[in-house]
A and B are shown apart, each in its own frame.
Chain A
Amino acid sequence: MSQSLSSPLLVLPDNNFRLFTPAILLIGFIVVPVTGSDYWLGAILVPFLILSLAGLGLNLLTGYAGQTSLGSGGFMSVGAFATFGLVVHGGVPLPVALLLSGLITAGAGLLFGLPSDRIKGFYLMVSSLAAQFFFEWLFQKFPWFYNYDSSGTIELPRLSVFGLDVSSPVGRYLTTLVIVVALTWFAANLVRSQTGRSWMAIRDMDTAAAVIGIPVYRTKVLAFAVSSFYLGVAGALWAFIYLGSASVQSFGIARSFQVLFIIIIGGVGSISGNFIGAAFISLLPLAIDHVAQHLFAGHVDAGLLQNIQKAIFGLLIILFLVREPDGLARLFKSFGERLTNWPLRF
C-alpha cells in the first residue's frame, strides 16, 4: 500500500525516465489535440480524465489518509449542482464557479468528515453512504437546485472560459486537461508535504501519529475537505464538460462504486494509479465492446454477447488483482524497473 515518497507521480523509475512527465504533457497538450478525432477527444479522453480526477480525490482520502468513503458520487453531485447554482442564480463565470463549487464541496466534505473522529474503517464507509443518499435526496427534493426545470436536469447555457467558447471537443478536452494537470500537480506535491506525511502517518497507525504530535482529528477532517474539493470539481466537469447536462441519477451509488474501483484497481495510495485505474474502468469495457462488435455482431446473440462482455471485464479485474494486489500502478512500476535492468533480468 505504501509507496516510495520520492516519486508518487511517475510510473517509471526516476533516473532513467526523467523526461517521462514532460513527454506525457507534450503528448497530452499538443499531439493528442492535433491528431485525435472528435470521438476520441470528446467521448473517450474527456471522461477518462474526469474519472481520473475523481479517483485522485478519493485516493487522497482513502489511499493517503486511510479514511474509507462511499460518498464520492454524492460529493460529485454537490460540485455539479453548486456550479449550476453559481452560474445560473449568481451569474458567476465558469472558471470561478468551478473553483467556488470545489470549495463548497470541500465544506460539505468537511461536514461529513466530522464523524471520522469516532468511527473507523468499514463503519466510516457505511456512514459515508449517508452523504451519498442525503445529496441524492436533497438535489431531487428541492426544485431550486435545478432552477425549477420540469425534468430536474441541470444544463449550462454556454460553455465559455474567459470569453473563449470551449464547447468543441478540442475545447472540452483542453479545459479538462488543464484542470486535471494542475490539480494532479498540486496533489503530487501535497502528498509529499507535511500534510501528506501526516495523512500517511494516520493511515499507517493513528495512535502512533497522535503520539508523535500530529493533530489526528484535524488532519482527518482536512483530508475529507481536500478530497471533496477534487470530487466536486470532477463532478462539475462530468456534468457540464462531458455530459452537457446532469441530474442526480448521474451521481448515484454506482458512481461511488466506480470511483472506488478505480482506486482499488489502479492502486490505493498512488497518484498515477488513478489514471491507470480510470483507463481500466472506462476504456476496457469500450475496448471489449469494440472487439466484440467487430468480431461477433450478427453471429452471436446480442444479449448473450453483452453479458459475456460483462463477465470478461469482471474476470480481468480479478486476474489483475490476483497478480498484483497493490494495483496496476505497482504492476507497471515493477515492469518499468525490470525494463531498466533489461539485459540482466527481464
Chain B
Amino acid sequence: MKRLTLTALLAATFAGTALVSPAAYADGKEQYVPLPTYRVGPYASSGTLWWAGEIDYLRYINDVEGGINGVKLKVEEFETEWSPDRTVEVYERVKNGKDGAPVAFFFTHGTPATYALTERSAKDKISLIDPAGGQPEATNGLVFSYVFPLLLNYYSQASVGINYIAQKEGGFDKLKGKKIVTVYHDSAYGRATQPAVTVLAKKYGFEDVQIPVADPGNEQSPQWRQVREIKPDWVFLRTWGVSTPVAIKTAARFGIPADHIIGDVWAGSEADVIPAGAAATGYQALAPYPGGPEFEIHNRLRKTILEAGKSDLKDPKFFGAVYYNIGLINAALAVEALRVGQAKFGNRPLNGEEGHWAFEHLTIDDARLKQIGFYGLLQSIKLSPADHEGGGAARIQQWDGKKWVLVTDWIQADHALLRPLIEEKSAAYAKEHNITPRTLAGEN
C-alpha cells in the first residue's frame, strides 16, 4: 500500500511536470519579473497585501493592456521570509532570467537584502529597486550605480516631517525653540533619519531629542514618561511593527495628543493604527504611499481585476489599504521604467543594463500620472544618474478612526540642504570600497 501511494505520488509529479509545457513562455517576448516575497514569518501579514497590490497591477498590465507594448510580464514569486540569506539565493537563481525571458531589475522587498546584494548587483549589472527604504546615501547614483532607493529616502522623510510641522506652526521662523522629540525603533532603520534631523535642528533652531525603543517595543512606559517630562511640541514616531500601536496607546495614556504625533512611512498603515483603537484617532503619518481605494487606478482595477475574480487579495476589505497601495505604486514604477527603456531600446524585453538605463531616466509627470490613473496616489518623479531617489515628497494622512484621510498635497523635502549630507556619506562609502564615482560625461 505504502509503495503504491509513493508510486502514485511520483506519477502525479511527472504528470504535473509535463502539464506545464515550456511552450507557454518560449516565444522570447516576455520580461521576467521575479518577486522575492514573504507570505510566511513575522512580516507576512503586511507582506501579503503588498504582494497582492503588486501582482494585481502586473496582472492588469498583462491581461487588460496586453503587456507593455505587447511584451508580457512573466511574474514569479519566491518565498524569502524576509531573510536576506534567502533573498540572496533567490537573486542568484533568477539573475540570468528564465526560459529566455531576461531580468531588467530586481525588487529586493527589504533593506537588509538590498545591502547584501549591493556588490553582487553592481557586478551583474542588475538594478536593485527598494522604494522608500535603503541607505539614504544610495541616492547618489554616481557611487551606488545599481541601487535605487526610489521615491523618498530617510533623510527626505525627516525633512518632509519638519516642513509639515513648520506649515502647521505657521512658518519656519516659528520652529525656533520648539521641542521635537523623535521616538525611534533602536535599529539601523530607526536611527537612519538622525543625521538629517541634526542638520535641520541647527538650521531652524529647534531642540532635537531622540528617544530609543528597544526591539520589539511592546512596553514603552519609560520612554513616554520621558516624553511627557520634556513636554514636546511635536513627536516624530519612527517605530516599526508592534512598537507602533503600542507607542500610540502609551502616548495617549501619558496625555500626548495623537494629532501632534507624526508617524513615519513604515508606521503609517492600517495595521499600525487599528490595534491602537480610539487612541489613534487624529494620528498623522507621512504618506509617499497614501491609503484609500478611491483613486482612478482603483476604479480600473475594481472592474477588471477584482470583480473579474483575478485579484490576489483574499479579503476585498483591504482593497486600497496602505500596503496594497505600496504594491500598486511599486509595480507602476517598474512598469513605467520598462516603458522608458522600451522607448529607447525597442519594444522587446530588456536586460539588466537596459533596465538600469531605464530606471536612471525614469520620468513620470502629472499628465502621465493622470493617464495611468495614479494621480494623487503617486508623486511626479524624475530620476537621473546622480539622483536615484527622484521624488522626495510625501503627503500627510490622518487617521479619523476608520480610514486614512489625506490632509495635504505633496510636501517636498529640502533637497538643497540634504544633498551635501548624501554627498559626504556616499564619498566615505566610495573611499572605503575603492569605488571611483561615475562622471556624467558620456552619459546620454
Contacts of B186 in A (CB 8 A): 140-141
Instruction: Judge whether A158 and B111 touch: CB under 8 Å.
Output: no
Whether A302 contacts B77 in the complex (CB less than 8 A), given A39-B92, A43-B92, comes out as yes
| B39 in complex: contacting residue of A88, A140, A289, A307, CB < 8 Å | A307
| A210, B186: Cα distance in complex, Å | 47
Contacts of A291 in B (CB 8 A): 13
| A141, B93: Cα distance in complex, Å | 35
Task: Give 1 or 0 for each of B181-222: 1 = CB within 8 Å of chain A CB.
Answer: 000001110011001000000000000000000000000000
Looking at the assembled complex, report how far the CB atom of B366 sits from the nearest CB atom of chain A, in whole angstroms: 33
Tell which of B116-124, B290-298, B302-310, B409-417 binds the partner. B116-124
Instruction: Judge whether B187 and A294 touch: CB under 8 Å.
Output: no
Task: Give 1 or 0 for each of A279-304: 1 = CB within 8 Å of chain B CB.
Answer: 00000001001010111110000110
Contacts of B39 in A (CB 8 A): 302-303, 306-307
Instruction: Judge whether B85 and A47 touch: CB under 8 Å.
Output: yes
Contacts of B37 in A (CB 8 A): 302
A219 close to B (CB within 8 Å): no
| A286, B186: Cα distance in complex, Å | 33
Contacts of A303 in B (CB 8 A): 39, 44, 48, 314
Instruction: Judge whether A243 and B85 touch: CB under 8 Å.
Output: yes
Contacts of B119 in A (CB 8 A): 155, 167, 244-245
Contacts of B48 in A (CB 8 A): 303
Contacts of A286 in B (CB 8 A): 89
| B312 in complex: contacting residue of A242, A244, A293, A302, CB < 8 Å | A302
B391 close to A (CB within 8 Å): no
Instruction: Judge whether B76 and A297 touch: CB under 8 Å.
Output: yes
Looking at the assembled complex, report how far the CB atom of A160 sits from the nearest CB atom of chain B, in whole angstroms: 11
Contacts of A295 in B (CB 8 A): 13, 16-17, 20
| A310, B88: Cα distance in complex, Å | 19
Contacts of B112 in A (CB 8 A): 153, 247, 249-250
Contacts of A42 in B (CB 8 A): 92
**B431 closest partner in A (C-beta):** A157
| A42, B92: Cα distance in complex, Å | 8
A183 close to B (CB within 8 Å): no
Task: Give 1 or 0 for each of B37-48: 1 = CB within 8 Å of chain A CB.
Answer: 101100010001
B137 close to A (CB within 8 Å): yes
Contacts of B13 in A (CB 8 A): 291, 295
Instruction: Judge whether A157 and B92 touch: CB under 8 Å.
Output: no
Contacts of A244 in B (CB 8 A): 88, 116-120
Instruction: Judge whether B88 and A306 touch: CB under 8 Å.
Output: no
Instruction: Judge whether B135 and A38 touch: CB under 8 Å.
Output: no
Instruction: Judge whether B85 and A250 touch: CB under 8 Å.
Output: yes
Residues of chain B touching chain A, judged by Cβ–Cβ distance below 8 Å, are 13, 16-17, 20, 37, 39-40, 44, 48, 51, 76-79, 84-85, 88-89, 91-93, 111-112, 115-120, 123, 135-137, 186-188, 191-192, 195, 312, 314, 425, 432-434
- 28 of the cross-chain contacts (CB-CB < 8 Å) are A38-B92, A43-B89, A47-B89, A141-B186, A149-B188, A150-B137, A151-B111, A151-B115, A151-B192, A153-B112, A153-B115, A155-B115, A155-B119, A167-B123, A242-B88, A244-B117, A244-B118, A244-B119, A244-B120, A246-B116, A289-B79, A291-B13, A293-B76, A294-B16, A295-B16, A302-B51, A303-B44, A303-B314
The 3 A-B pairs at the shortest CB distance, nearest first, are namely: A152-B188, A43-B92, A303-B39
Not counting A245-B116, A289-B79, a sample of 15 additional A-B residue pairs whose C-beta atoms are within 8 angstroms of each other reads A39-B93, A43-B89, A47-B85, A47-B89, A150-B188, A150-B425, A242-B85, A245-B115, A250-B84, A250-B85, A286-B89, A294-B17, A294-B20, A302-B37, A307-B39
